[in-house]
Amino acid sequence: MTTNSSPQLWLYDTTLRDGTQREGLSVSIEDKLRIARRLDQLGIPFIEGGWPGANPKDVQFFWQLQEDPLKQAEVVAFCSTRRPNTTAASEPMLQAILAAGTRWVTVFGKSWDLHVTTGLKTTLEENLAMIHDTIAYLCAQGRQVIYDAEHWFDGYKHNPDYALQTLAAAIAAGAQWLVLCDTNGGTLPHEVSQIVQAVNSHLSLVVCQKPMTNDQGQMTVPQIGIHTHNDSDLAVANALAAVMAGATMVQGTINGYGERCGNANLCSLIPNLQLKLGYSCIGEDELAQLTEASRFVSEVVNLAPDEHAAFVGRSAFAHKGGIHVSAVERNPLTYEHIQPEQVGNRRRIVISEQSGLSNVLAKARTFGIELDQHQPEARQILQRMKDLESEGYQFEAAEASFALLMYEALGNRQQFFEIKGFQVHCDLIAGKETSNSLATIKVSVNGTNILEAAEGIGPVAALDAALRKALVNFYPQIASFELTDYKVRILNGNTGTGAKTRALVESGNGYQRWTTVGVSTNILEASYQAVVEGLEYGLLLHSQPVFIEARKAETSEHKGS
């Protein structure tokens, strides 16, 4: 738990620049602005917005933030050092950086002599001049500079003397932060710790022997930052090692997005730094928004959230084994390392064939159903669930179907409608990738029979449309329901066309989502079961206010995911 006396650690988010280099991730200007404002609400002090001048999108992004600034965060422009054998004052790229109007600029330069001679094709001396000239020019224009020492750890291991000279050039030019970058992501935590300590010791020794001043004659006390990549699956561990060795700025991205294997994941770093190591990063109220912010960003960039992500994943505090659930019900510390609410997440009890009676009792409470372990219905529900799972059902992924199972076992499952029969006809058109389907369905509502038909692209879409069409006059709320996802899995493929199929259907009403399941050797029958239960559960949400309140916490996680 952070306090006012907790040591300050500065967070630097690079989701909008480094994060967007992830393969398959693309964002618009509007997307970038939405993410920036959400990170601002989260309390991130530094938000790197991109490279002005590198593309029109980033130029417009910075212009729009000049018109409507962020509330508390510093938006940062990013660029490289000037080109070899030129001057910073004549570099067009730096004019675009100045036009972005940010107070802070991050400049990256080469630390590894291999990159200087092979990549830049210049001399080691000229690289030092490029670092110094670029930073000094930006400082003279009133900017505050963060220096990203690219490939720092590889460069230091190959030629430590030269690597330290690049930092000295940045300090002399006026850089306020020296960020050590594990650009290739191949460094191990013990190496990061040793090298960061060595850099800090070197800088302290230099300051003691000769007070450091920049070109303007001002005293400088450089601070160390860390920027890690995840190519060895160690980005978070390496960042933590650097902080414990003296780094006071941590760079990373939301959800660990980034090129190749990604960057250090701020959604893991922030709670580890704040809750485990006692650093002050963001406020407690802001920390409680972390899960929502993670899902918000994944929604905006159109990538499915990682359900098993540490701290913020849907499964991060999910308990499936019966012994685990029983213990957590008595004391959450038995199987949870923090309180899920601290990061805006929540505890979930998962129902499956591995469940015990404690799972059923706990899950029932989330649906507003109070069961006693001595009630015969409780064990009937458990046994019925296990029997169905042995047939191929999966209630872990279809909790709405489990709720209906419980209501049926308790004798109070409301019958909103009755299916009398349905037919589905598919036309496969030669030369076309899609097929037209026509579904005809007969439904009874309160003794009234309705016959309806509807078309769709595929049999499940047609069946869903026909059922909604038949029911909407009786239940107008169905107009807000939508089928948001549909998954099919063959359970025993070795039996050929006679294999069992499991269909999972996710439905929503604009602010909640729920999943239902069907199993059959007939794929349409399995889909029909799931579609029908999806509508039934949606109607249940609308018809029972108490039930709605009980389910708010259970379904609110889907708002932005």
Contact 339, 346 (CB under 8 A): no
- Mean pLDDT of all residues in 441-454: 93
Mean pLDDT of the 213-225 span: 70
DSSP state letter for 376: H
CA atoms within 13 A on the CB side of 106: 27
Domain 10-282 falls under CATH 3.20.20.70: yes
Higher pLDDT among residues 310 and 346, named by residue: 310
Query: Encoding tokens for residue 74?
Result: 């510093």
CATH, domain range 365-414+476-561: 3.30.160.340
Instruction: Please write the tens of the pLDDT for every residue from 461-470.
Output: 899 999 999 9
The answer to whether residue 210 scores a pLDDT higher than 80 is no
Residue that wins the pLDDT comparison between 172 and 362: 172
How much is the pTM?
0.77
Q: Which of 123, 73, 81 is nearest to 103 (CA)?
A: 73
In sequence order, what are the residues at sequence separation of 6 or more whose Cβ sits closer than 8 angstroms to the Cβ of residue 220?
171, 174, 176, 212, 213, 214
Percentages (nearest 5) of helix, strand, coil residues in the chain: 45, 20, 35
pLDDT at 441 over 50: yes
Provide the pLDDT for residue 560. Answer: 41
Helices (H) and strands (E) in the chain, counts: 19, 16
- CA separation for the pair 172, 222 (Å, rounded): 10
Among 64-78, 312-326, 437-451, the range scoring the smallest mean pLDDT is: 312-326
Q: What is the DSSP letter of 92?
A: H
Please write the tens of the pLDDT for every residue from 501-512: 999 999 988 778
**Percentage of the chain modeled with pLDDT above 90:** 63
Place of tokens 């003397």: 161
Q: Provide CATH code, domain 417-474.
A: 3.30.160
pLDDT score, position 557: 45
pLDDT digits 0-9 by tens, 545-561: 545 554 554 444 444 43
What pLDDT was estimated at residue 553? Answer: 46
| Mean pLDDT (whole number) for 40-64 | 95
Q: Can you give the pLDDT at residue 470?
A: 93
Phi, psi (deg, nearest 5) at residue 191: -70, -45
- DSSP states along 244-308: HTT--EEEEBGGG--STT-B-BHHHHHHIIIIIS--B-S-HHHHTTHHHHHHHHHHHTT----TT
Model confidence band, residue 289 (pLDDT cutoffs 50, 70, 90): very high
Q: Dig out the tokens for 561 from the structure.
A: 């995911």
pLDDT in tens, 391-414: 888 888 888 999 999 989 988 888
d(CA 91, CA 83): 8
Query: Which residue would you say has higher pLDDT here, 378 or 165?
Result: 165
Same CATH fold assignment for domains 10-282 and 365-414+476-561: no
Q: Is 154 helix (H, G, I), strand (E, B) or coil?
A: helix
Place of tokens 């994941």: 265
Pairing of β 435-445 and β 482-490: unpaired
Dist CA 308 CA 319 (whole Å): 12
**Size (the chain), residues:** 561
Distance CA(415)–CA(425), nearest Å, equals 28
Question: d(Cα 472, Cα 250) in Å, to the nearest integer?
Answer: 54
pLDDT at 3 over 50: no
Separation of alpha carbons 39 and 47, rounded Å: 8
Domain boundary assignment for the chain:
10-282, 365-414+476-561, 417-474
Residue 220: predicted pLDDT? 62
Whether 282 contacts 73, CB under 8 Å? no
Which pLDDT score, from 0 to 100, does residue 207 have?
Answer: 63
Residue 443's Cα: distance from chain center in Å? 42
Which is nearest to 75 in space by CA: 87, 91, 58, 92?
A: 58
Residue 1 is predicted with a pLDDT of: 40
Label residue 389 by pLDDT band (50, 70, 90).
confident
